Amino acid sequence: MVEPVFNRLCLIGIGLIGSSIARVARKRGDIARTVVATARRPETLARVRELGIVDVVEDDVAKAVEGCDGVILCVPVGAYASVMQAIAPHLAPGCVLTDVGSTKGSVVRDLTPLVPAGVRLVPAHPMAGTEHSGPDAGFAELFQGRYCIVTPLPDSDPDAVAKVREFWRRCGSMTETMDPATHDRVVAIVSHLPHLIAFTICGTADDLAEETKEAVLKFAAAGFRDFTRIAASDVDMWRDVFLNNREALLEMLARFSEDAHALGRAVRYGQAEFIEDRIRRGRKIRRELIERKQA
Sites of contact with ligand NAP (CB under 6 A): 13-18, 39-41, 44, 74-77, 79, 83, 100-102, 125-126, 129-130, 133-134, 234, 236-237, 241
Nearer to ligand NAP, 34 or 130 (CB): 130
Give whichever of 79 and 263 is closer to ligand NAP, judged by the CB atom: 79
Q: What is the nearest approach in angstroms of ligand NAP to the Cβ of residue 216? A: 26
- Shortest Cβ 94–ligand NAP spacing (Å): 25
CB of 128 to ligand NAP, least distance (A): 6
Write the DSSP symbol of residue 75: S
Instruction: Select 65 or 77, whichever has its Cβ closest to ligand NAP.
Output: 77
Identity of residue 272: A
Q: Which residues in 163-199 are b (16+ Cβ under 10 Å) and which e?
A: bbbebbebbbbebeebebeebbbbbbbebbbbbbbbb
Give the integer Cα–Cα distance in Å for 63 and 68.
10
Nearer to ligand NAP, 17 or 24 (CB): 17
Can you list the alpha helix ranges (DSSP code H) found in the chain?
Answer: 16-28, 42-51, 61-65, 80-87, 105-111, 158-170, 180-187, 193-207, 210-218, 222-231, 235-244, 246-268, 272-291
Whose Cβ is closer to ligand NAP: residue 32's or residue 77's? Answer: 77
Please state, in angstroms and as integers, the Cα–Cα distance from residue 15 to each residue in 6, 75, 85, 147, 285, following that order.
Answer: 21, 8, 21, 20, 32
Least separation in angstroms between CB 172 and ligand NAP: 14
CB of 48 to ligand NAP, least distance (A): 8
Q: Please give the Cα distance from 264 to 275 (Å, whole number).
A: 9
We find the least distance from the C-beta atom of residue 38 to ligand NAP, in angstroms, to be 8
The minimum distance between CB 44 and ligand NAP, in angstroms, equals: 3
Q: Angle at which helices 42-51 and 16-28 pack, to 10 degrees?
A: 20
Residue (33 or 40) nearer to ligand NAP, CB: 40
Q: How many CB atoms lie within 10 A of CB 14?
A: 29
Q: How far is the CB of 264 from ligand NAP (least distance, A)?
A: 31
Cβ(144)–Cβ(223) below 8 Å:
no
What amino acid occupies position 151?
T
Choice between 101 and 172, CB closer to ligand NAP: 101
Q: Using the minimum distance from each CB to ligand NAP, give the nearer residue, 41 or 293.
A: 41
Task: Put residue 147 in one of left, alpha, beta given phi > 0 → left and psi -120 to 50 → alpha.
Answer: beta
d(CA 30, CA 40) in angstroms, rounded, equals 28
